[in-house]
Amino acid sequence: MKKILELINIVLENRDKVKLEEISESSDLRTDCGLDSLDLAELTVRIEAEYDIDIFEEGVITTIGEILNKLDLEKTDE
């Protein structure tokens, strides 16, 4: 979760958007995290570079929890 937050904040910072303090499994990528389609595209590339998985490959993903599921990551702060 911490790594995903870090990646989301890089994307937000790149677009001069306000960084997030925290995220949760239920956080919506668009409404809660403030990511538009360009940002989501960038996020997928950054996640892919990190984990070698294209999270959007099989369809739309809307929440942080779905990303964690795709990556098979522990839903902890680590």
Partner 1 sequence: MSKTFYYDNIEGKNISYNKLLNDLSNTNSYSTYCRSNSYYSIFKHIILSLITGKEIILLDNDFSQEEIHKLIGYNKNIFDIKSIDPIGQINFNDIIDKIKLNGATCKLTLFTSGTTGMPKKISHNFDSLSRFVKKEESRKNDIWGFAYNPTHMAGLQVFFQALLNQNTIVRLFGVERVTSLNLINEFKITNISATPTFYRLLLPADHICNSVRNLTSGGEKFDFRTLKKVKQMFPKCRVRNVYASTEAGTIFASEGEEFTIKSDTSHLIKIIEDELYIHESLIGESESLVTVDGWYPTGDMISVVSENPYLFRFISRKNESINSGGYKINPSEVEDIIRSFDGVIDVYVFAKKNSILGNIICCQVVSSNKFLTEKRLRLLLKDKLQEFKIPRLITFVKSIKTSRTGKLLRKN
Contacts to partner 1 by CB under 8 A: 13-14, 37-38, 40-42, 44-46, 49, 54, 56-57
Is 1 or 43 the residue whose CB approaches partner 1 more closely?
Answer: 43
Is 19 or 75 the residue whose CB approaches partner 1 more closely?
Answer: 19
Cβ burial, residue 64 (10 Å; 0-12/13-18/19+): buried
Is 50 or 77 the residue whose CB approaches partner 1 more closely?
Answer: 50
